[in-house]
Amino acid sequence: MKQSNDHGSLEELRGQIDECDVQLAKLLARRQELVKKAAQAKALHKDAAYSKEREQYLMQSREQMAKAAGLPAGLMSDVIKRVLRESYRSGGTGSYPKLMQGDGKVVIIGGNGGMGKIFTRYFEASGYEVTGFGHRGWDKAQEYFENARIVIVTVPIDITIEIIKKTAPYLSKDTILCDLTSVKGPIVDAMLKYHQGPVLGLHPMFGPDIKNLVKQVVVTVSAREQEKSAFLVEQLKLWGAKTVECDAYDHDKAMSIIQALRHFTTYAYGTFMASMKADLKQLLELSSPIYRLELMMVGRLFAQDPRLYADIIMSSERNLKLLSDYVEHLKPELDTVMNKDAAEFERRFLEAREYFGPLSEQFLKESGSLLAKFQDQR
């Protein structure tokens, strides 16, 4: 009889928990509606889509609320982070002020590609007139470029300079010429050579699958007449992007590591697994969260356009030299393991740890937090 009463009590408690969740859902829905109204107010006041200061305030103040309510440390922060992410995503492109003064339109060469579509959407949401065309539109080039204030080239890297050279004769000395390629040095040099007006190199550090620009990094290279393209950089910030100004060739040195080396390593790992015909289903069943996450990143690469990655990896002699050095570096590392030289392995390990310095501990904590969230989704 006591068991029956206990069961009834449990069901009653579960019912109360369910009612709490109903109220939570209603409160979250109400919050989302308020966020949409806030986004409209931001547009009217020409505020950016993302405010780091506001987000930091939310994190700190909500954690204090949680502490006062007796909740576990970090719980409220996790909830707010998820809510904010959904707020940014559900907001989509939104509606933003137009920062360009005067007349003129935006022309995007390669506007039908993934990146071209993203920027078309954002420019149009800010009230710009946008014209986009691809390789079949050059018969109407004179019409397309008429009254062009901003021209953006977003085509495969191997034909970018050719397209810049082809575009330049149509541009006025006041037209801002931009590109969206992952290589900046030779591309920016070509824009400076063939166009006499403002030049702004751009490298969006994201793929075409993003939902919005909030917190996305865009590298900017203000190569000529920076004052004339400054509004465009501010427009990116208004859309929520984080802009990082960089020298063109310093950018390319960093990208050799950030993109070429990383993508090549992932590509080689994936092709090796394919040659082994490893059982992916079994690997997933046996994997730890961190290995599953690594495997996801490998699979993610092969779900995308191979031409894109070939362009990035093979885009410069610097990249090829770096990859060659990397493969040569692996031989002594392999020899250490094959010789079962644990002492030498430890020496190399600690040498690398010293290079990373305090970032090692920081990365350990950050990855632990990410893995905990990832594990929750399994």
pLDDT digit string (tens) for 150-209? 999 999 998 999 999 999 999 999 999 999 999 999 999 999 999 999 999 999 999 888
Q: Which of 292, 291, 300, 288 is nearest to 262 (CA)?
A: 300
Strands 217-224 and 199-204 come out as antiparallel
pLDDT tens for 273-291 read 999 999 999 999 998 888 8
Alpha carbons 43 and 65: distance in angstroms, whole number: 30
CB 159 within 8 A of CB 138: no
Alpha carbons 218 and 178: distance in angstroms, whole number: 13
SS3 195: coil
pLDDT(378) > 80: no
Average pLDDT rounded to a whole number, residues 313-339: 95
pLDDT score of 333: 96
Confidence of residue 1 (pLDDT cuts 50, 70, 90): very low
Average pLDDT rounded to a whole number, residues 298-326: 93
pTM (two decimals): 0.78
pLDDT(299) > 70: yes
pLDDT score of 303: 93
Which of 88-102, 263-277, 290-304 is most confident? 263-277
Alpha carbons 187 and 316: distance in angstroms, whole number: 11
Q: Which of 312, 184, 202 is nearest to 249 (CA)?
A: 184
pLDDT score of 91: 53
Give the E-state strand segments of the chain in sequence order: 105-109, 130-133, 148-153, 176-179, 199-204, 217-224, 242-245
pLDDT score of 377: 61
pLDDT(2) > 80: no
Instruction: Share the mean pLDDT of the chain.
Output: 89
Alpha carbons 175 and 195: distance in angstroms, whole number: 9
Alpha carbons 368 and 288: distance in angstroms, whole number: 12
The DSSP H or E segment spanning 27 is: helix 2-45
pLDDT score of 78: 81
312 DSSP assignment: H
* Paired residues of 130 in beta bridges: 106
> In 214-261, which residue ranges form alpha helices assigned H by DSSP?
226-238, 248-255
pLDDT score of 375: 65
pLDDT tens for 97-141 read 899 999 999 999 998 889 999 999 999 989 999 999 998 889 999
Query: In terms of C-beta density within 10 A (0-12 exposed, 13-18 middle, 19 or more buried), how is residue 57 classed?
Result: exposed
Average pLDDT rounded to a whole number, residues 70-75: 86
- Integer-rounded Cα Rg, in Å, for the chain is 26
pLDDT score of 187: 97
Long-range own/partner contacts, residues 26-29 (CB < 8 A, 24 or more apart): 28/83
Strands 105-109 and 130-133 come out as parallel
pLDDT score of 46: 64
Residue type, 26: K
Residue with the larger pLDDT of the pair 33 and 266: 266
Average pLDDT rounded to a whole number, residues 37-46: 71
pLDDT score of 57: 83
29-38, 179-188, 322-331, 346-355: which has the minimum mean pLDDT? 29-38
Confidence of residue 62 (pLDDT cuts 50, 70, 90): confident
Burial 7-22 (b: 16+ CB within 10 A, else e): eeeeeeeeeeeeeeee
277 DSSP assignment: T
Average pLDDT rounded to a whole number, residues 305-334: 93
The DSSP H or E segment spanning 332 is: helix 317-338
Q: Which of 272, 269, 276, 277 is nearest to 297 (CA)?
A: 269
